[in-house]
Every structure is written in C-alpha cells, then in structure tokens.
C-alpha cells in the first residue's frame, strides 16, 4: 500500500542529513564483512561501567521505594516529573547562582524533540504568512537541525570564519559577526555547544554577543555535551543563561540515551509554549527515566561522574587521534579541529582532490568507516568547497582500533593527494 502523503508527510518520511549516510553504513556493516570494519561513525555513547552502575543503583533505589507505582503506573504532569524538576533547579541554582523556578523547566522525550517543538512553534510561517527563520549562527552544526522544521526553507545557517594554525595542523571555527544577521524575520537562534560534529565550543563572550544581537528573539543553546552533565567539555566553559536563552540539556551522553530525557531551561513564557505543544504531541516523557535521573542529579553523583569519568574517557580517545594523525599524516594541508568537547573529532582535508563522499567510500575499502562532513551543514546555502572536505570521526571505539583506523586514513590520504584531481 502506498498511502498518499501530505506535504508534511513527504517532508517527515525522508531521512535527512547524516541519517541517509547511516543507512549506507548499516548496509555495509550487514554485508557479511562486518567483523573487519572499524566503525568510527557511531553517535551512540560508550557504555562506561561506572556510569552503567550509577543507573543500576538508581533503578534499584526506585524499585525499592514507595514511588515506584506513582512513577510507572500513572500519567504525570506534562512539564515533567516534579522531583526531577526540583533536583535540576536546585542543582543549577546552587552551582551557577541562579533563581530558577519549576516554571523555567520542561522535561522532553530526549532533547531532539525539544528542538522540534521549538522549530515549529517559533520557526515557520506566522498567521500572516511571514516566514520566521531558524538561524544557525555557525555552520557546520548538528545534522539533526536539518530535519526539525516542517518547513525546511526556514533553516538558515551562516558560514564561520576559520582560525588556522598551519604549522600545528589545527583549526577552529568562530562565528562570523560581520555576516550574522538576526532580524524581526528570525524565529529563534540555535547552536550546539560543545558542537556535534566539530567539538567546537563557542566562547562565553561569543555566546553573550549572539544573545545580545538576538535581543528578545529566543536563543536555544543545545548543551547535549555541556557541563554539569555530561560535562564533555575539554576547555573551560560556563552555561550562559541570559533572559532570552533557552538552555537545552540531554542525558543521552550521560549514559541514558535509551530513556529519552531532555531538559529545556529558560524563560517561563517560552517554556509554557513548548509545554503545550508537547502535551498535544505526546503528553509527556517516560517517567522511569526521569525518576532515576532525579536521584542521580539530586545526589550529585551524575555531575561528579561526568567530570571524573565520562569526560576523561573521551578526552583520552581524542589524544589518540591527535597523536596518531600527527605521527602518520602525509605532508598535505590537513587540519584537525581544536579539541574543545563532544564525542567526535572533526578533520578538514583542504584541497582534497575528491569529495567527502568519494573519500568515505574509498576508506571503506581499507575497512574503516567515518562520516563524510557534507550533511553537517544544514541550512547553509553557500557553495563552499569546505563542505566537501571534512569528516566526523567518533571517539567511541577502543583506543587501539582508533589508532589503526587513523593510520589507514593517513595511508589513503597520501594515496589520494598523490593521485591528484580525478576527472
Ligand atoms: C548536538 C546534539 N543535540 C541533540 C542531540 C539529540 O540528543 P537526544 O538523545 O537528547 O535527543 C544529539 C545527539 O547526538 C546531539 O549530538
């Protein structure tokens, strides 16, 4: 049966961005040679024993408590499970000297859904048919932003400036404030910090500047990798919580991706709009995940493990990528993005003689899978060579296998640059 799809049905039944590549990766891995592949494409976090134990302990506590029936056998408030909201407000108020109240918080089924709610409440067409844009101030950014709006034309991204250290083979993106425009046509601003895929951390000053430029336009800061949990920042950063900022937290990289717990923190009027949208869509997020998260946050254990275990785990993997690239890459203009956070490394091969898709396919012949960079520029209309010269490398495999994969990548890089441009 082929049901007739609406315009939105068409839009939402297509895989966008990196999900389309993931289909190819899954087919490759299922092709019978999967044991030979080193797969550095994964976005799934590593199951770290200490973190898994924390969630087991919180589950055991919940099972033994009187709350169990209330948590899993009943519907609850759309805003979220009250003890989780209390734990979050208490933690942030103490840690960052804030005055958050329950009305500043909304729990969503994962943070991706939060951006979907925002994209369709504040982006898209107004009742008088004006297009409100979703501005991504620094491209590349999270590929998922390409699929959040029912009106893809609403997503507009800006090219960054590049700070390049040629001798060290490192680079960093910065927002280009000479280009960035936030106007009355802007519905809201959105960026990830630390950034998936690049690991970039927009500085505290740059965030404040964006928030000031935005004035009373909401600025959603996707903090899926930020402190206090999962604290996957390798450089100093503080959450910037200005009146127009909505801080989006995810517990996925803190070991709970299956439970779908996202947290929006911001101005009460903005949170109310998102809450109503969520009630209409799905009533509320699963309460089991919220209940164990409440325990892990209230005890301080989640923030503690994030800083001491989760961050160290990925930072060590990043060091393996850096040292292996430095030792094995040929003499070509390659640049690794500065390691500022997230669970990925981002490699730029300047003047690459083939495009990122061809390089990805060729690397598969060496038994290595990384993600071609072009799907990470959602909303960027510019024709820019750089979009086809970058790769995302996940830090989720073992250090040994990452080192082997990077050596093979260096070998292929040598081969491709020495062959020169292909017809
Ligand atoms: C930057 C960023 N935002 C949002 C998400 C979605 O996370 P969640 O599992 O909370 O929906 C991801 C997932 O990888 C991400 O990398």
**Distance from the alpha carbon of residue 208 to the mean position of ligand 1, in angstroms:** 23
Mean of the per-residue pLDDT values of the chain = 95
How confident is the model over 128-161, as pLDDT tens digits?
Answer: 999 999 999 999 999 999 999 999 999 999 999 9
Please provide the distance, in angstroms rounded to a whole number, between the alpha carbons at the two ends of the chain.
43
Full residue range of the structural domain in which residue 171 is found? 50-304
Give the model's pLDDT for residue 31: 76
User: 284, 304, 324 — which closes off a domain?
Assistant: 304
Same domain? 243 vs 310: no
How far apart CA 376 and CA 198 sit, in angstroms, is 9
If you count them, how many residues does the chain have? Answer: 423
Ligand 1 atom nearest the C-alpha of 195 is: 1
**Distance from the alpha carbon of residue 20 to the mean position of ligand 1, in angstroms:** 17
Same domain? 338 vs 367: yes
**Distance from the alpha carbon of residue 375 to the mean position of ligand 1, in angstroms:** 15
Residue 168, judged by CB atoms within 10 A of its CB (0-12, 13-18, 19+), counts as: exposed
Among protein residues, the one with the nearest Cα to ligand 1's atom 12 is 224
**Distance from the alpha carbon of residue 143 to the mean position of ligand 1, in angstroms:** 10
**Distance from the alpha carbon of residue 328 to the mean position of ligand 1, in angstroms:** 32
Same domain? 153 vs 278: yes
How confident is the model over 17-45, as pLDDT tens digits?
Answer: 667 777 778 888 787 666 689 999 988 89
List ligand 1's pocket residues with C-beta within 6 A. Answer: 43, 110-112, 142, 144, 192, 196, 222, 224, 250, 252, 257, 262
Instruction: Report the number of distinct structural domains present in the chain.
Output: 2
**Distance from the alpha carbon of residue 95 to the mean position of ligand 1, in angstroms:** 24
**Distance from the alpha carbon of residue 37 to the mean position of ligand 1, in angstroms:** 25
For ligand 1, pick from 106, 112, 143 the residue to mutate: most ligand atoms within 8 Å of CB.
112
**Distance from the alpha carbon of residue 136 to the mean position of ligand 1, in angstroms:** 16
How confident is the model over 90-123, as pLDDT tens digits?
Answer: 999 999 999 999 999 999 999 999 999 999 999 9
Same domain? 283 vs 382: no
User: 304, 339, 358 — which closes off a domain?
Assistant: 304
Ligand 1 atom nearest the C-alpha of 112 is: 11
- Parallel/antiparallel/unpaired status of strands 186-192 and 219-222: parallel
Percent of the chain at pLDDT > 70 equals 98
Residue 68, judged by CB atoms within 10 A of its CB (0-12, 13-18, 19+), counts as: middle
The position carrying tokens 């040679």 is 33
Average pLDDT, stretch 202-218?
A: 96
Does a structural domain hold residue 2?
no
Among protein residues, the one with the nearest Cα to ligand 1's atom 4 is 112
Residue 114 makes CB contacts below 8 A (sequence gap 6+) with 106, 108, 220, 248, 262, 264, 274
- CATH code at position 11: 3.90.1150.10
Same domain? 115 vs 249: yes
User: 253, 286, 304 — which closes off a domain?
Assistant: 304
Same domain? 129 vs 246: yes
Ligand 1 atom nearest the C-alpha of 252 is: 9
How confident is the model over 251-290, as pLDDT tens digits?
Answer: 999 999 999 999 999 999 999 999 999 999 999 999 999 9
For ligand 1, pick from 18, 19, 106, 111 the residue to mutate: most ligand atoms within 8 Å of CB.
111
Among protein residues, the one with the nearest Cα to ligand 1's atom 16 is 196
Same domain? 245 vs 380: no
Same domain? 122 vs 226: yes
Same domain? 125 vs 158: yes
């Amino acid at each position: 049966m082929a049901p007739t799809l609406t315009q939105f049905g068409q839009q939402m039944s297509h895989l966008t961005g990196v999900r389309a590549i993931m289909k190819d990766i899954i087919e490759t891995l299922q092709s019978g040679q999967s044991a030979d592949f080193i797969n550095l494409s994964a976005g799934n976090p590593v199951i770290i024993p200490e973190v898994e134990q924390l969630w087991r302990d919180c589950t055991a506590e919940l099972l033994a408590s009187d709350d169990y029936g209330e948590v899993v056998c009943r519907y609850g408030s759309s805003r979220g499970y009250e003890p989780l909201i209390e734990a979050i407000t208490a933690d942030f108020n103490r840690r960052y000297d804030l005055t958050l109240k329950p009305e500043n918080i909304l729990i969503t089924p994962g943070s991706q859904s939060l951006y979907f709610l925002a994209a369709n409440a504040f982006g898209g067409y107004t009742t008088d048919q004006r297009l409100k844009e979703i501005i991504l101030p620094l491209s590349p950014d999270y590929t998922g932003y390409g699929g959040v709006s029912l009106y893809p034309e609403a997503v507009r991204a800006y090219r960054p400036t590049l700070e390049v250290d040629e001798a060290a083979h490192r680079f960093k993106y910065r927002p280009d404030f000479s280009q960035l425009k936030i106007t009355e046509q802007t519905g809201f601003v959105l960026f990830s910090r630390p950034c998936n895929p690049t690991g970039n951390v927009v500085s505290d000053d740059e965030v404040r500047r964006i928030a000031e430029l935005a004035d009373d336009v909401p600025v959603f800061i996707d903090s899926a990798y930020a402190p206090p949990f999962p604290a996957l920042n390798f450089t100093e950063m503080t959450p910037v919580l200005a009146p127009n900022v909505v801080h989006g937290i995810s517990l996925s990289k803190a070991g709970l991706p299956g439970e779908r717990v996202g947290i929006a923190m911001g101005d009460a009027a903005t949170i109310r709009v998102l809450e109503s949208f969520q009630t209409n869509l799905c009533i509320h997020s699963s309460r089991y995940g919220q209940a164990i998260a409440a325990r892990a946050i209230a005890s301080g254990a989640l923030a503690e493990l994030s800083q001491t275990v989760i961050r160290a785990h990925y930072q060590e993997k990043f060091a393996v990528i850096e040292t292996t690239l430095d030792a094995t890459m040929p003499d070509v203009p390659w640049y690794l993005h500065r390691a500022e956070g997230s669970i990925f490394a981002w490699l730029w091969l300047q003047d690459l003689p083939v495009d990122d898709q061809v390089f990805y396919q060729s690397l598969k012949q060496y038994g290595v899978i990384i993600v071609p960079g072009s799907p990470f520029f959602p909303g960027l209309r510019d024709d820019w060579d750089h979009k086809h010269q970058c790769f995302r490398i996940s830090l989720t495999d073992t250090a040994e296998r990452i080192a082997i994969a990077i050596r093979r990548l260096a070998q292929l890089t040598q081969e491709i640059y020495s062959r020169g441009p292909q017809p």
